[in-house]
Amino acid sequence: MESVLNFLERLVEFVALSLVNLPWFLLGLASGLFLFRLLSAFLPVKPRRGWRIGLILSLTIISGQIIWLGDTNLLFTLLAFVPLLMLASKGDKVGRLAVTVIFFCLIMPVNAVLNTYYAPALAHFELDNVFYFTDKFIRPGIWGLLFLAARKRLPERPPQLSPRFWRLVLLLAAMPFSSLLAGGLLYLFLGTRLGLSIRATGDNRDMVRSSSVNPAFTVTVGLCAANALTGLSGAVVGQAQKSADINMGTGIVVIGLACLVMGETVLGRGGMGRGILAVAAGSVIYRFIYAIVLYTKIVPIDCLKLFVAAIVALAIAAPTLKSGAALQRRRLAARRKEAR
């Protein structure tokens, strides 16, 4: 009897809590509905009701997400947002991806500005409760006003553009994702005649000179591209950390080399595309190891740089150690074969 009473008591509490939060859920659902109406004007959504309901609920959750400028959770949100919209829509893949990126870049800045600037401004005057209530109205208000302002100008059907034009739209929409865009453009550039000449200069300078290509020119272009990417990386890091220091780049060359070696150890060597993926994978692995060391505190903070230097040294020496271990295994197999 007591267990039944406890269950009924918890059920009543759950129903009461749901009724209290129901108005806030309806306001969030209004944001999802306004965004769905805007999205469906440019993206052909699948006709099944389940896809539409799931898309509305997902837009409701994403439009109410708590996120800040420079927050790394943006990447994880993007990884969940893109597959969902691609699965819930139909038509040209490049066009769907372009519209998805555009709406992601439309929704996230609103959330980031509200949580980065509006919330601290009210917290400065000890008005946290005011932010909690007004934020619930501001988000659907923004999307509602945008929908009402654009309602008469929205197309009756999603636009049908040529694949080439959709690629241009996707390129422009991907501008905020500067790192991904830089990697893609670098891959395309190194596949051109000039890019191949730059890569060949690094392998054999005399051969390039004998092919009537000026090595000084290719070296200059390569250094310009490398320094441009370095400046872009520094700008992105400064935006993420909201600060910059002249000593931020100390030792970054060794770390970059270690990331490259780690990525090539995991993915193996191959074409230029695999090399770019190896750099990205190696940087993730390096930061993951760094985070584990900080979280577990297996070494003192004073010895952290020494420990990281040891990891970098092992990463650089990993290919040599791997080939040496393979050689020792072959020698051991040969000795066993001779002993028989």
170 within domain boundaries? no
Task: Kindly state whether residues 23 and 84 are assigned to the same domain.
Answer: yes
Same structural domain, 221 and 278: no
pLDDT tens-digit profile of 120-156? 777 777 777 777 788 888 888 988 998 888 888 888 8
pTM of the model as a whole: 0.55
Q: Is 226 inside any structural domain?
A: yes
Last residue of a domain, one of 165, 197, 222: 165
Question: SS3 of 72, please?
Answer: coil
Q: Which residue has the tokens 């750099």?
A: 279
Identify whether residues 320 and 217 lie together within a single domain.
Answer: no
User: Are 148 and 189 in a shared domain?
Assistant: no
Any residues with CB less than 8 A from the CB of 140 and at least 6 apart, and which?
27, 28, 30, 31, 34
| Residue 171 belongs to some domain of the structure | no
State whether 119 and 142 are in the same domain: yes
91 in the Ramachandran plot: left (φ > 0), alpha (ψ -120 to 50) or beta?
A: left
Shared domain for 25 and 143, answered yes or no, is yes
pLDDT value at residue 263: 81
Domain end marker among 242, 265, 296: 242
Side chain identity, residue 251: G
Domain count, the chain: 3
| 140 shares a domain with 26 | yes
Own/partner contacts of 235-242, CB < 8 Å, gap of 24 or more, are: 236/178, 236/179, 239/69, 239/70, 240/70, 240/72, 241/70, 242/69, 242/70
- Report how far residue 150's alpha carbon sits from residue 169's, in angstroms, rounded to the nearest whole number: 20
| Residue that is last in its domain, among 143, 165, 187 | 165
Is there a single domain that holds both residue 95 and residue 147? Answer: yes
Q: Does residue 79 lie within any of the structural domains?
A: yes
47/91 Cα distance (integer angstroms) = 13
- Torsion sign across C-alpha atoms 125, 126, 130, 132: positive
| Same-domain pairing of 88 and 34 | yes
Asked if residue 172 is part of any domain, the answer here is no
pLDDT tens across the length of the chain (340 residues): 556 566 566 666 656 655 566 777 788 888 889 999 998 888 888 888 888 888 888 888 888 887 776 666 676 777 788 888 888 888 888 888 888 888 888 888 888 888 877 877 777 777 777 777 888 888 889 889 988 888 888 888 888 877 777 777 776 676 666 666 777 777 888 888 888 888 888 888 888 888 888 888 888 988 888 888 888 778 777 776 777 777 777 777 777 777 777 787 777 777 777 777 788 778 777 777 777 777 777 777 777 777 777 777 777 777 788 778 888 888 888 888 877 7
Q: Is residue 37 a part of any domain in this protein? A: yes
Amino acid identity of 71?
D
Q: Are 222 and 338 in a shared domain?
A: no
Query: Is the same domain home to 77 and 144?
Result: yes
Residue 151 covered by a domain: yes
Domain that holds residue 147: 2-165
Tell me, yes or no, whether 228 and 83 share the same domain: no
Assigned token pair, 244: 């910059």
